Chain A
Amino acid sequence: MIAGLARQLAAREVSSEELTRDYLARIERHNASLNAFITVDPDKSLAQARAADARIASGTAGPLTGIPVAHKDLYCARGWRTTCGSRMLENFVSPYDAHVIEQFDRAGAVLLGKTNMDEFAMGSSNENSFFGPVRNPWDLAAVPGGSSGGSAAAVAARLVPAATGTDTGGSIRQPASFTGISGLRPTYGRVSRYGMVAFASSLDQGGPLAESAEDLAHLLAVMAGFDPRDSTCIDRPRDDYVGGLGGGVKGLRIGLPREYFTKDLARDVAEPILAAIEELKRLGATTVEVSLPNQHLSVPVYYVLAPAEASSNLSRFDGVRYGHRAAGYRDLNDMYCKTRAEGFGAEVKRRILVGTYVLSHGYYDAFYLQAQRVRRLIARDFTDAFAKCDLIAGPAAPSVAFDLGSKDKDPVQMYLDDLYTIPINLAGLPGMSVPCGFGAKGRPVGLQLVGNYFDEARMLAAAHAYQQATDFHLCVPPGFTA
């Protein structure tokens, strides 16, 4: 845990260099089986660690100074290869830092490596990476979820104390749920998207994955804040996430959407979720039934808006200014077509083509504008629900982690599994997953907590109270205890 490591660093029981070497050794030992990291660069990490040790010695350390953190490989980090899990960017070394990377640098954190992900963050299983699938540390036959699957697997296997991810349709919460760790997607606009390779700009949001809610609070304190370089970043002071952790759940009204607890939810998932809600009640929360009547439209709406935005964002990959360029071509247009055919994987191409279709002449109103209208209906459902409750609780995913190769033949089947996470992205709300037990085959289950806009502090306090009373977040996958 970050707070414990920071205490050890402050007391000089361990140096950041030693800590960084320990984690690099764990990556060395375990990454071959998990494939969680795309790039590690020990020289760079150790140089940052030594700088952190100097800062600790000078008495100017903050809570994250000297703590190793891994970043999803779509955060541009100067001098680091930033691949986005794609052949298109296989050899792209970023010439600049993302805002989030700058913030971690300023805090004195050590960049431990770049983590594997579904290509351009499109996927829910991490099977869409050009660099191969990531495996779930709880069961190497299972997927870790996606698209931030490398970050989730790395934290779960304790290859790094914390990592960043991004969440466009559930890409932090679902892998956190599948790997038994804690993950938070902040309110849209809370964390700057500057330097994050864009997928669907009106839905993308960066956030942390870690072992506990307390750690998430420390990480969010560094990541959140205004950045004028992201035109959708909200100029609003950040709350005291760490200071607010002790807030508890006494009197907290937890909304339980009747649409969440249906036959779609596997029993082995429903049971731990309901037990977690009972635990929150025991700690002083109350529950109230709420309704999200347009919830079932979320996945269809998402598969208009996200591909539309992706087709536009990914048009920049043309083989001219950076990234892959095909070796042989007849003319400029042929160069574009071959470069993009070679550089993008199958799922990315499908989404670009769907996006191209829904934005094309004659279909724009029926698909794109209609999807934006239904998006508002979905967002209003949450506004109505939050008139009756402070937080919404439910599952993060309809099942535990599934087996590798079991769902990759039918894209639509995989899409439908994101029914509990996507509505939150459409509404722009903050959501998190915290481990609450185990389902079939001993695979983890995550409790999703959804807050109102900018209510991250309240969510973190509730999750922290739950974790003070339970120990699911302390469970380490059996193969990774040493």
Chain B
Amino acid sequence: MLSREEITRLARLARIEVPEGEAEALLLQLNGILGLVEQMCAVATDGVEPMSHPQDVMQRLRDDAVTEADARELFQAVAPAVEDGLYLVPRVVE
């Protein structure tokens, strides 16, 4: 079961701000979900290969060739802030 401290850690890892007033309710809900999930933890799965794709296909390879035309303006038209073709974010390095 999760603790309050773990909620804070998960919120930090997930980059989601959790206001102090919402943490307690969230803790209850997440522990409810993890309680459901726990039902599968004790199942014997020795020797069972993890399944990540229903058909167990291998990743296809393709030629390392340029297939897309430059569409920078089109794609940046939906960005919150751009300048001179660059995405603007708060200063990272002083």
Interface residues of A (CB under 8 A from B): 92-93, 95, 187-189, 202, 228, 231-232, 234, 294, 296-297, 299-301, 303-304, 311, 315, 318-325, 329, 331-338, 340-341, 344, 349-350, 352-354, 356-358, 360, 366-367, 369-377, 379, 410-412, 415-416, 427-429, 453
Contact = CB atoms under 8 A, between A and B. Distances in A.
B45 A379 contact: no
A349 to B, nearest CB: 6
Contacts of A360: 10, 13
Interface in B41-94: 41, 43, 45, 48-55, 57, 59-60, 62, 71, 74-75, 77-81, 87, 89-92
Contact of A353 (B10, B59, B62): B10
Given A95-B78, A340-B17, A411-B33, A370 B40 contact: yes
Contacts of B19: 341
Given A350-B33, A352-B16, 14 more contacts: A202-B53, A231-B59, A294-B43, A300-B37, A303-B37, A321-B87, A329-B90, A331-B92, A370-B41, A371-B37, A373-B43, A376-B48, A411-B32, A416-B36
A337 B41 contact: no
A95 B75 contact: yes
A371 B37 CA distance: 9
A338 B92 CA distance: 17
Nearest to B15: A336
A70 to B, nearest CB: 23
Nearest to A78: B74
A95 B75 CA distance: 6
A297, A320, A429 — which one has the most chain B CB atoms within 10 A of its CB? A320
A392 to B, nearest CB: 16
A83 to B, nearest CB: 12
A297 B78 contact: no
B33 A95 contact: no
Contacts of A453: 54-55
Chain B interface size, as a band, is 35 or more
A331 B92 CA distance: 8
Nearest to A429: B54
Contacts of A324: 80
Interface of A, helix, strand, loop or mixed by DSSP:
helix
Interface of B, helix, strand, loop or mixed by DSSP:
loop
A350 B55 contact: no
A189 B55 contact: yes
A34 B20 CA distance: 36
A293 to B, nearest CB: 11
B36 A331 contact: no
Given A360-B10, A370-B45, A318 B15 contact: yes
Given A353-B26, A376-B50, A321 B79 contact: yes
Nearest to B38: A300
B71 to A, nearest CB: 7
Contact of A373 (B18, B38, B50): B50
B16 A337 contact: yes
B79 A297 contact: no
Contact of A367 (B7, B10, B37, B81): B37
Nearest to B7: A353
Given A321-B87, A411-B32, A337 B15 contact: yes
A375 B50 CA distance: 8
A387 to B, nearest CB: 18
B89 A297 contact: no
Contact of A366 (B30, B41, B52): B41
A367 B41 contact: yes
Given A299-B36, A319-B80, A357-B2, A95 B74 contact: yes
B33 to A, nearest CB: 5
Contacts of A228: 60, 62
Contact of A322 (B13, B39, B79): B79
Contact of A354 (B13, B15, B30, B41): B30
B52 A353 contact: no
Nearest to B14: A356
Contacts of B32: 410-412
A202 B51 CA distance: 10
A376 B11 CA distance: 31
B82 to A, nearest CB: 9
10 contacts: A228-B60, A354-B30, A354-B37, A356-B14, A357-B6, A357-B10, A360-B13, A412-B35, A415-B33, A453-B54
Contacts of A95: 71, 74-75, 77-78
